[in-house]
Structure 1
């Protein structure tokens, strides 16, 4: 429950809406109970007065219609206001969560699978609507209504009142609490099983080519079947526990009705209560238990909501590895980059960079090669301050980048990596990510440097053409050039290229390299690559080996 309370501050701006939902829920339940009670009284009174020959039908029939309309309208607006409040709250939660998550990227838990992170940001957030919409409101409404019905019974049938009060307390409080206790661990296991299944599906989609190429379809199917069976088993346990709780509620309802009838018949015999009143009480008792069914169904999902809240809290409160200084310095105009005795190691691994020294003059174009795992990407991440050195310092213009605000640092640096995304949006939106408000002339100038102008002009709507997700409507080379154009559009004076030609065929790779000199002229370029570079490419060639840099002959 502490994990749920962690998100309570996000509820404050929506308290008025949820209070309105609670009032409407109470009105709905009260109107339904009153409708059943008046209907029972009306039918009984009519039967006892010779089929209504001398009975005033107008008032009770008007009451029946009135309570019916009230119930319909209040239920409609309860759903309208409640869902509106919940959707607003979940929207705020997502916005807050992304705001809390970004400073913590990359996550300290490096073993977390992408599918699990996606689950936390989608399904786990959605799971919280069970608590906000289905559990709290009906619970409070049932308590209030049960108290009101108990007060009526204590007035008319005092002996039965105590039994009803005990039954309603057990139905509204004890049964849900027992259900919550028994399903808490199962809810956690269910959420984990669902996350595993989603991760397996994502792995299969992403790795489909390799799975087919290596003939592992059967293995993938078996893994998927195991994950599905595990999730099905947890859902079965959850459904069984909920069904037992719902059955217990029905037993309590039956006990209450039998008690009312027994004590009511005694009172009727003693002429201390009239038959129509007794019928109204019986029907009213049935209506008062209406909310308990909703509570049981929602509590059955609360274990999942608690587990989801714990998972969300886990990523939202994780350590922030990179923090801005309290008194940030300003970067000078000098773009000289210096690595001074820089070392780096992950907490759970060996040292990757070891006392590395490197100086890049403004306008230098440097290509860093090395074996896989040598630390090329790590070196670039340190320059971008996606991580900090464990020893040594990285300076720009003599200023340690740890003393600079990250926003200012990243305005000076721009990244083009093998994973640079092409978004499911227009060409314009993909480009202006680097410079919002850029003019068409500026966009086409960047496209020209990336040799993509004619391709974009040939599209149906030019810059306003929507390109497919991950650039599916473009070739691999065109998608990489679009990312290059976006990088070139950035006002950054230091460009960081991490395996920019990965996944391209050799001809496309050579075309890409041939454009770099003109496209990147006047900027400092640091490129990590496995590619065999054309000998005519004017670059300083460095090799990263055993955590240190060696200069190679051009």
Structure 2
């Protein structure tokens, strides 16, 4: 699929042939099942009328047709599952690639405003609803429509009045199956997804903060809030089931009237000699099979509605403009240079000024530490240098060139970055380090570990392929922090940005880490924001951020 195509469309251009094949095999399965029951009903009736006499009774043709339709239905069901799962998995791949490609430029400025549980609902629930539209909604509904048209044509060929009965049934069954589900459905779906998000948020935050909740004795109160959210979602689920049940009841009433009308009409035609008894029985049994197949229309309409609502939510999320855009004609990023911030201003969304005419010049190879109170704008300063935010006034330049003239990916390739809560991912130490530089060899990895005095610990644990654990669970806090810094040091960029790298470390461990970092930096520049004091032995430039400006310490 082209990167410019939208997989949220009901029939994405790059997948239409496969989706048409899925609908075709669904239709083949329904046709085979309906024809099988109609032929079998007529055959049984013919056998009964023949009363066991072989003369004048064609036994072999109907039985051969029944066997053929049985095998056709088995084959079509097999290909229905095969092609349906293939199309669904391909669409799932396209959806996830599309979503991440569109959503990543929104992080963190746009997505950071969403709670984790709400974002997970988009990523898991909404994408699952959209990717399942073909096999749960669109495919069955189109196949039912094709089956109905074929049945009307066949019935009209045998008995014109029978075709009219089935056509009228189709016209009535459509609204009967759709209206109870679709009436005000998008509003109800929006309400239901809010309830689901609320429950997911509460569960996620409860798991993340389980230790704090236990320490404060608030676990029971939190569990009660989770139970209340689950109860509200369960009530919404029961309301949804009642709507589907109402659709099923309406379809059952229409179906019963259709079957009675068809039986009365076919028997009357057989009595009048217009059709034979076998054809009359075939019409009755085929109608029964047709109504049984159409009984799933309510669930299909519900799945279609849920998929449509999910597609709208995904579109609304990724349609936000990114906080930072790329220039139409980006210029190459110089390999080395000075970082210069000139009269930079940035205000919080509530209007509170964070940076007010800030000036900073970081020369090649220079180390600068920025201290400041919480909320003073230190992390915002790094976000502006990373260019995930744009200054509202002023200019940030590298080697004399405004950052806005660079492609974001090219600029990020010149940076090494470790955030305050730099994650250690589940997997091996090698896999964690390669996130810093996928091309790094073992020698470079060991040098980075040795520079931060982590090599002996890794060797003792079995080498680079030893497990780090989920969130660094198999490492101490200091070791996990050093591994994250080693990953940043592996990047070949000339500028290293660190946000509170000493958080949670004791004084001795923090001082040792900074001394090791100084030795490992080499010719790189460093911009570090930290509350912790920097050892006096380090010849680093020290600044303090107050009232939106930097002052020498």
Match of 1:137 among 136, 139, 161: 139
Preserved CA contact (<8 Å) 1:322 1:386: yes
Q: 1:232-311 residue pairs with structure 2 within 5 A? A: 232-311=234-313
> What SS does structure 1 have at the residue aligned with 2:12?
helix
Q: Distance in 2 between matches of 1:102 and 1:282?
A: 57
TM-score, L = length of structure 2: 0.95
Task: Give a deviation string over 1:194-250, Cα, whole Å, max 9, x none.
Answer: 121111111011111111111111221121012101111110110000011012212
Q: Distance in 1 between matches of 2:302 and 2:491?
A: 51
Cα deviation for residue 59 of structure 1 reads 2.1
Match for residue 98 of structure 2?
96
The count of residues paired between Structure 1 and Structure 2 equals 548
Cα deviation for residue 6 of structure 1 reads 7.7
Cα deviation for residue 281 of structure 1 reads 0.7
Match for residue 195 of structure 2?
193
Cα deviation for residue 430 of structure 1 reads 1.3
Match of 1:451 among 450, 453, 477: 453
Q: How has the CA–CA distance of structure 1 residues 247 and 107 changed in structure 2, closer, same or farther, with 3 Å as cutoff?
A: farther
Match for residue 442 of structure 1?
444
Q: 1:287-366 residue pairs with structure 2 within 5 A? A: 287-366=289-368
Please state if 1:513 is matched with 2:514. yes
Q: Distance in 2 between matches of 1:208 and 1:329?
A: 49
Task: Give a deviation string over 1:391-440, Cα, whole Å, max 9, x none.
Answer: 11111222111122222221222111222221222222211222222111
> What SS does structure 2 have at the residue aligned with 1:495?
strand
Match for residue 33 of structure 2?
32
Gaps of 5+ in 2: none
Please state if 1:77 is matched with 2:79. yes
Please state if 1:43 is matched with 2:53. no
TM-score, L = length of structure 1: 0.95
Q: Distance in 2 between matches of 1:376 and 1:341?
A: 16
Q: How has the CA–CA distance of structure 1 residues 232 and 113 changed in structure 2, closer, same or farther, with 3 Å as cutoff?
A: same
Task: Give a deviation string over 1:465-507, Cα, whole Å, max 9, x none.
Answer: 3332212211111111111111111111111110012123344
Cα deviation for residue 289 of structure 1 reads 2.3
Q: Distance in 2 between matches of 1:294 and 1:458?
A: 61
> What SS does structure 2 have at the residue aligned with 1:543?
strand
Q: Distance in 2 between matches of 1:433 and 1:440?
A: 14
Cα deviation for residue 31 of structure 1 reads 0.6
Preserved CA contact (<8 Å) 1:188 1:303: no
Gaps of 5+ in 1: none
Cα deviation for residue 333 of structure 1 reads 4.9
Match for residue 534 of structure 2?
533
Q: Distance in 1 between matches of 2:342 and 2:62?
A: 90
> What SS does structure 1 have at the residue aligned with 2:91?
helix
Q: 1:37-186 residue pairs with structure 2 within 5 A? A: 37-54=38-55, 55-108=57-110, 110-172=112-174, 175-186=177-188
Q: Distance in 2 between matches of 1:250 and 1:385?
A: 61
Please state if 1:13 is matched with 2:14. yes
Moved more, 209-218 or 297-306: 297-306
